[in-house]
Structure 1
């Protein structure tokens, strides 16, 4: 068990020795020098058996999707209860991933090409926009 200040320091620590390669990494998104998204992409590419779990204050949908696309096997916010984090770590070891309902819904939306909820305009609103654009 060890702590690193940024993604670059983590990669250096892992590459020093095979004894330093963890099974699970709790990765923050916002870090100096090399952020969590970049570090996750490099780690999952170079060390595919390592499970990277995002643990961040960032709750932006785009950030979550980027982190998952980089190879994170789950995403939790830092204010998550300890019992939820413990359950997530158990799920990661047993199943290889952990996703909250919100992250699962976000992934489904992303796969279906729906980045955000659709906005339905009423006929008077459409008419107004047509006039406003002329």
Structure 2
């Protein structure tokens, strides 16, 4: 069964062009297009299909991408959001990721790269091209939290697993504890490090040498 995608973009010609491109991808299909975040919410309220993935523009009237991805994180956390924008500046990338985006691409991306990004997003749970990864790392707090925040050995062990594809239940099995205990490690670390997502924890783990 194909993964379902919704495109949220106020430029209808671009959205329709994307729909045509994705129509040639073996593993994906576009189920509909929304013109902005408010339009998307209205479609959800009118029982439109909830997709697996949303390709989300940033600059839109009424409800932009920053607001929309935050709403999706709070109301439909299972949906994987890929930002697809002309904006590649540090501020936009970091804000979208902090608000809940699991990937980031520019609109001049080649169709093959888009297809690969969607596959990686589906299998790994996130996808950032090299240029976006560099922005993420360069914007991490230079005053390294690992130097002054106490992280227990068990939390360090948990951090090692955040960069893998293991589910939290599978991580619990690896750590010989309950899934609830693993969730407590996650919540404690997110609180200590002021992070909100597993992606943020994974980036922190890699940057600070906890990834094994």
| TM-score interval, smaller chain | 0.7 to 0.9
Partners of 1:65 and 1:80 lie apart in 2 by 19
> What RMSD over aligned residues (CA atoms) do the two structures have, in Å?
1.3
* Shift, 1:82, TM fit: 0.2
Tell me the SS of whatever aligns to 1:34. Answer: coil
Structure 1 runs not aligned, ≥5 long: 115-134
Q: Which residue of 2 aligns with 1:47?
A: 76
Task: After superposition, give the CA deviation of every residue in 1:11-69 in whole Å (9 maximum; x if it has no partner).
Answer: 1212332x521100000000000000100000111101000100001111101111111
1:23–1:49 Cα contact (<8 Å) kept? yes
* Shift, 1:112, TM fit: 2.8
TM-score (norm 1): 0.80
Give the structure with higher Rg (CA): 1
Matched residues, number: 113
Structure 2 runs not aligned, ≥5 long: 1-30, 144-212
Partners of 1:113 and 1:11 lie apart in 2 by 38
2:45 maps to 1:21: no
Match 1:68 to one of 91, 97, 103: 97
Relative contact order: is structure 1 or structure 2 higher (C-alpha 8 Å, sep ≥ 6)? 1
TM-score (norm 2): 0.51
2:76 maps to 1:33: no
